[in-house]
Structure 1
Amino acid sequence: MAGISICHCNKPVRRAIDQGHIFSFVLWGPPGVGKTSLARIYANEINAELYELSAVTAGKNDVRKITQEKLDTGKTKVLFLDEIHRFNKAQQDFLLPFVENGELVLIGATT
């Protein structure tokens, strides 16, 4: 899990987290390199609620359920979307406004 080192002291992601800059991003790499683990670490570091979906089986209704869920904790919602390249245009168009308005932080993963 070499990617985990980007969360250490003086790395860009660590500095951004420490400064309160929460952002969406895409991870790519072969299976088993730690993309899911990195998403979990990121969500934990920013004290967010993590939702994990696979774009192979998930659709608009799954995203809708996440956006409609009320969090009494005030936590940020992070959506980890594995195989993000599998979302079709209609699914992407549905997801985009939630990411643009900050309702969801998106972490996409692809190979």
Structure 2
Amino acid sequence: MPRHCSHCGLELREVGDFRSCWITVYECPGKRPLHDFLEVGDPRWTFPLLDLNPGVKDRLVNADPALVELAVSRIRMIDYKTISIVDFEKTLLGAFSEPGNAAGQS
């Protein structure tokens, strides 16, 4: 089923192949910033498209498979229709800090 950019309406295209990790990465062909998306699924649910922060898609596409697996393991399912990708993005951008780590607290 085609996906469309929530900002401009263009049909999105899939980037990379991350289906083994239950994620799909999309980019808008319009090449505007903030038009990259992540779709997360599991055996029961497919969650709504989420906007990716700048730089995350490029890091993900070029990342070592071990880093991708680590980042995916940090996606949190809140309920059957809500997930958090904050720690996923922080991991890929090199900004993740374990809870309780004084270096990551301000």
Q: What is the TM-score normalised by the length of structure 1? A: 0.28
> Which structure shows the higher helix fraction?
1
